[in-house]
Amino acid sequence: MKKLFAIVVSFVLLMSYLPVVNGVSATTQAEYYSVLFNTNNIPEDFDEQVKSLGGEVVYSVPEIGFVQVKASPSSFSELKGMGGVSAANPSISWNLPESEKIEESIVNPADAALWDLQWDIQRITNNGASYELGTGSRDVVVGIIDTGIDRDHPDLEGNLLPGSKNFVPAGGFQGTEPTETGDPDAFDDKNGHGSHVAGSIAGNGAMLGVAPDTGIRAYRVFGTSSAESAWIYKAMIAAANDGVDVISMSLGGFDVLGQTFYIDPETGEKQKLGNDVADFKAYKRVVKYVTEKGSLVVAAAGNDGINATNKNEVTNFLNASYGGDGLYFVGAGFEVPGTLPGVVTVSATGQNDVLANYSNYGPGFIDIAAVGGDARLYDQYVNEGRFGEYLAKRLFETEFNLSASNTGGWYWSIGTSMATPKVSAVAALLVDKYGKMEPSKLEDLLYKTAVDPVKGQDKKYFGNGHLNAFEALQ
């Protein structure tokens, strides 16, 4: 497949990751717990205390005083009451999107013909004019926390720097992925999402990214299944310790600060599952840590089509989405990491700078908008039973974004996942132009120089404005 230069068309609406809230399904109880301590330290005797309960520590992030524990539900109350514990909750997990991919052998990359299909990159670079002002350099690095990368992709390998890492442990998600060895060097992309993101940042070949000479590293936190919050925290910290200038996170989900309940569909028994305070606080600590290390975090707003500033709307959305699994929520729901201070949160637009019909939004939530593709025509044709016609007319070329795949080719996709790396790329261009700076200064520069600004009600959709690499480099 590495030698077959095919376009892969991925018809996926929801490209950001949705959490399995509190790690609970309709048939199983959570046995994995997130534990956050009062300080950024893990007590020396904690492992032994957990063993005395019949449990085990399966993952630790000592830099922020966080561990993941596997234990029986009956021991959860004792776990929460241990000395030094600030908060504990059933672990939040993050799912990969399912996708339909359609391969077509119609492009020879030797002709460099893909540029004409890259309407999204054309919009951000002013039809390539920004390349005359700057394309970045490998002295600046974007760390991509995602599904890994195709390390041999001809459009990516030139900018892939040494130091990429895998954070998926042996056995993968809760022991369900036997092919996962835990090898730190196993950062190859098994899904395609991470390679697609990388292409939008630093593709340089048959396709071009926004910053085609910028250095990239991959920090893999997904295998073929879900990821644990602890792996994401660990990857963010590692990226910051490696000195990356920008951390690009095309993922997101929700934490509930209130109460989560589970109703057994067979017995009708109602069980309190607690809340997500431990994970929420841990995310805040991680963002603070990486920011102090000098890395700017850029994250996707999510693809649920809701006002993420309206906590009731978020909670109602979660209840509607997960009610069939016996779960319901009381309290406030927060999109993370997008709602956290110090994170650049990105909404997605389609052509003509219109908010994508799936993109989350909200005043004070969205910081900047970038092209991520739209699905209006896609939805219309699917709803009318005309999907075959949509494919035959190649209408996806007008809505979806083209970028690298994990098989040496390319595919089309949409989502705030596709908008986020473009913002990360422009942030990297600013570092290359002005030199290393504090993340807060880089964030301010991004909003002041790298956008077509908006006013009034448009701010709740587009934040400070629409991303523009040419403006950033003038």
Peptide bond between residue 337 and the one before it cis (omega within 30 degrees of 0): yes
In angstroms, rounded to a whole number, what is the distance separating the alpha carbons of residues 432 and 414?
A: 28
**How do the domains of the chain map onto residue ranges?**
7-18+93-473, 31-90
**H or E element, residue 217:** strand 215-220
> The domain at 31-90 falls in which architecture?
2-Layer Sandwich (3.30)
What the block records as the tokens of 452 is: 């077509």
DSSP E strand boundaries for 105-162? 141-146
Q: Which residues are catalytic, by number?
A: 146, 193, 417
Note down pLDDT in tens along the chain; length 474 residues: 222 222 233 222 223 322 333 333 323 345 899 999 999 999 999 999 999 999 999 999 999 999 999 999 889 889 999 999 999 988 888 776 544 443 433 333 344 579 999 999 999 999 999 999 999 999 999 999 999 999 999 999 999 999 999 999 999 999 999 999 999 999 999 999 999 999 999 999 999 999 999 999 999 999 888 899 999 999 999 999 999 999 999 998 888 888 888 887 778 888 787 778 899 999 999 999 999 999 999 999 999 999 999 999 999 998 888 777 777 888 888 999 999 999 999 999 999 999 999 999 999 999 999 999 999 999 999 999 999 999 999 999 999 999 999 999 999 999 999 999 999 999 999 999 999 999 999 999 999 999 999 999 999 999 999 999 999 999
Region of 128 please: left (phi>0), alpha (psi -120 to 50) or beta. left
pTM exceeds 0.85 = yes
Residue 327: name the closest of 277, 264, 279 by CA.
Answer: 264
Q: How far apart are CA 358 and CA 226, in angstroms?
A: 22
Class of 7-18+93-473 in CATH: alpha beta
Whole-angstrom Cα distance, residue 403 to residue 420? Answer: 13
